[in-house]
Structure 1
């Protein structure tokens, strides 16, 4: 029991108010993500927006507002995906007494996870990084330092969506600024020397293009998995379907809730399905 409590504390922080996986690789990847967003913020604001704000005030103000709102939503979605319990199954509940309380009928069995000593619900998988069984685990993502599961999949989808959009916007701004500098005066379009400006813009173009493609692919993959009610790990393992599939629209509502602007908000949580103990039982 003491080992179980120790593992529970490893995934908690701030007085157990937040879920946090203490994985050094994941923490480094999360910090790199924030630094890349911060770099894009710096180049867009200092190198692109401010130098032309006096010449094109409306253009600069609109693009700055769009970029800042998208950046805030992307970072907040990332934090929510990282600090939300993805659907961890309580550890150490696979005791003899707990199994007896399930009231198993003839022909029913209960599955246990030997690694975290829990009663394993249907469609749950054990994550070796989180050291827990996760409900509807899709995959473990080091970029958010967390598993993508039942409780935080919405936030991960929003994170990939907003990063893709902000990357496309940064790519457009960088290309436009580069063309403006070539056709005009470098002193008017940038406070840096031409070589430094070119390097900063080229790196932003490369970063924006790379992340736009990567996150767009992830976004489409996640939406497809939700639509088909089949997680990434279930597709990878080619697991036989033992659960009753719902309609695509119902699957989307399960993750995002009723269709509204709340779908695009990381401030509103997903509509969690009821967690019944019967989900642990399979007829054999």
Structure 2
């Protein structure tokens, strides 16, 4: 029987592509307080565009619709609701972008580490030839993050990060709050158009009527587009969580090798134990309780 170092499988199924002795020792682990951020040009641009679109909606809602309104109660109520949703949306986006999604330690597929696993006869480990790491069950390699991510669902350029085990809650909240803020903006635009058709256009906004119409049409297009997109994404994510099957696992039709749990338990795994208002708070880190041990062996 060979040593544990020989009982390894390359995830690419290419024999001899990666040998433990070819792996350099893993780099020193960063501080637990270090912020996670992916330096991807496309992702950074998409993230900046996301924030700019929210700020554009904020500008139109406040300076075109609410501040010129003579109904103080209407302005205060809708202003408070819209700004609350905007804050929650951006907070969720920031947490999804700057939270480690569940990256596997890089470069740990060394001979010494594999031998330290004390594998039993017949057991094997999977290793990633791209980041030279021991690959836990249900982990996949992201070519943009250049890391293996536990329970990776997909890489989202809009949050410039992978959606994985540790930040799926924030991504789900981001899609939910963007859908809600888009719906709210569309409702306010509809009421504003109805009011302006019945009143003098010069009293509808501090801007000229043509500029006001253009700003409202652009906001309507933005709101409708993101309402559809984020609603579909939110529904997809909730279904993925309830079925305990990531987007990549569904796409690849991978064989289920993990225990089946109830839908409610799957939701608690992502949003934390027990159920509380903190589920809706992007600033609250989920309390996962007793974490499941990811198996390296197959």
Whether the TM-score (by the shorter chain) exceeds 0.5 is: yes
C-alpha distance in structure 1 between counterparts of 2:26 and 2:118, whole Å: 25
Q: Which residue number in structure 1 is paired with residue 56 of structure 2?
A: 39
Task: Tell me the CA shift for residue 275 of structure 1.
Answer: 5.9
Instruction: Pick one of 206, 210, 225 that aligns with 1:195.
Output: 210
Q: Which residue number in structure 2 is paired with residue 169 of structure 1?
A: 184
Instruction: Kindly name which structure, 1 or 2, has the bigger radius of gyration based on alpha carbons.
Output: 2
Kept in 1, the 8 Å contact 2:95–2:167? The answer is yes
Spell out the pairing of 1:218-237 with structure 2 (5 A cutoff).
218-237=233-252
Segments of structure 2 that go 5 or more residues without pairing to the other structure are 1-22
Instruction: Pick one of 270, 278, 291 that aligns with 1:262.
Output: 278
Spell out the pairing of 1:135-146 with structure 2 (5 A cutoff).
135-146=150-161
C-alpha distance in structure 1 between counterparts of 2:212 and 2:226, whole Å: 21
Residue 87 of structure 1 aligns to a residue in which SS?
coil
Residue 111 of structure 1 aligns to a residue in which SS?
strand
Residue 140 of structure 1 aligns to a residue in which SS?
strand
Q: CA RMSD in A?
A: 1.8
Between structures 1 and 2, the one with greater helix share: 1
Instruction: Pick one of 108, 122, 138 that aligns with 2:137.
Output: 122
The alpha-carbon distance between structure 1 residues 4 and 102, as it changes in their structure 2 partners (threshold 3 A), is: closer
Residue 100 of structure 2 aligns to a residue in which SS?
coil
Q: Which residue number in structure 2 is paired with residue 48 of structure 1?
A: 65
Q: Which residue number in structure 1 is paired with residue 291 of structure 2?
A: 274
Say how many residue pairs are matched. Answer: 274
Q: Which residue number in structure 1 is paired with residue 15 of structure 2?
A: none
Q: Which residue number in structure 2 is paired with residue 85 of structure 1?
A: 100
Residue 203 of structure 1 aligns to a residue in which SS?
helix
Spell out the pairing of 1:20-39 with structure 2 (5 A cutoff).
20-39=37-56
Kept in 1, the 8 Å contact 2:24–2:107? The answer is no
C-alpha distance in structure 2 between counterparts of 1:275 and 1:128, whole Å: 26
Segments of structure 1 that go 5 or more residues without pairing to the other structure are none
TM-score (norm 1): 0.92
Residue 38 of structure 2 aligns to a residue in which SS?
coil
The alpha-carbon distance between structure 1 residues 4 and 42, as it changes in their structure 2 partners (threshold 3 A), is: farther
C-alpha distance in structure 2 between counterparts of 1:169 and 1:274, whole Å: 38
TM-score (norm 2): 0.88
C-alpha distance in structure 1 between counterparts of 2:149 and 2:200, whole Å: 57
Task: Tell me the CA shift for residue 243 of structure 1.
Answer: 1.2
